[in-house]
Amino acid sequence: QDILIDFIIYLSTSLRFNIILIMIDYLIKIRHFIFYKGIYNAKKTIYLYIYYI
């Protein structure tokens, strides 16, 4: 199973969210776009992966 994880960070501060986490699962061909505000790190990424996927 192949999963791609990518971040779009440092978005405009006028938006509700400043980070977009993109997760693509190539096995079942599904994409997840997770918007959140805060600082990204490995612990937060694992939490978001488990919570949303």
Q: Is the pLDDT of residue 24 over 80?
A: yes
What is the structure's pLDDT at 23? 92
What is the structure's pLDDT at 1? 65
pLDDT band (50, 70, 90) for residue 3: confident
Residue in 41, 38, 33 with CA at minimum distance from that of residue 11:
38
pLDDT in tens, 31-50: 999 998 888 888 988 888 88
pLDDT in tens, 7-21: 988 887 777 888 899
**Residue 53 CA from chain centroid, whole number:** 10
Contact in structure between 38 and 19 (CB atoms under 8 Å): yes
Contact in structure between 34 and 46 (CB atoms under 8 Å): no
Contact in structure between 4 and 23 (CB atoms under 8 Å): yes
